[in-house]
Amino acid sequence: MVQQNKDKNDIQQLYHSQKTALYCLLGLLYSAFIGAQLGRVQAITDFNFTLHELMYLPFNIAIYFGPIVLLIYLILVIKYLRKRGKQKLNAKTIFKSTLIVISIIAIVAITLYQFHEISTVGIFEVKGKVKENNHHYLLLDDKKIRVTNNEFHLVEVDKRYVISFVWNSRTPGTGRLKEIKPFE
């Protein structure tokens, strides 16, 4: 009887330990993602550059401590599952696990996509204008740059502009306009 109570206490302690490690891991991951997204906001950079740099602090911390916390979590889960034995999962546990896995996959996919973004600034001649599926584009050299309706109608073809745009190396043919000024 004493051994059985000790095993139950061990299982309960392992459960709470792995649950705490999971919350630490998720908190680290979510705060890193939110900080990285806020760090990309130009208005924050314009307002206070120190604040902009601080937005990336959780991301930098997650790069170093995330793998360690993940390793601790995995060790605790393995210990817990070995001690507890095989049991059937309930719907609530399956739902939570699925939600966590989907959110982590989404965060990783978004972050990996954003790591391939490139900002380009230069003097470009607008080769043409195209309207496709309610989206407006300017044709510059080998890129289609998405613009607003107003920008589309104000820009003239065969004129030179100082243009700043962002494009992704995974989709190199398209980009989105950041700023445009006439070139005198």
Give the C-alpha separation, 87 to 74, whole Å.
Answer: 18
The answer to whether residues 25 and 66 touch, using CB atoms and an 8 Å cutoff, is yes
Q: Are residues 9 and 86 in the same domain?
A: yes
Which domain, by its residues, includes 133? 117-182
Q: Return the ∠ at Cα 14 (arms to 65 and 2), rounded to 5°.
A: 155
Q: Are residues 92 and 31 in the same domain?
A: yes
Give pLDDT tens digits for 77-122.
888 888 887 777 778 878 888 888 899 899 999 999 989 999 999 9
Q: What is the pLDDT of residue 2?
A: 64
> Of 97, 114, 131, which residue constitutes the final position of a domain?
114
5-16: average pLDDT? 81
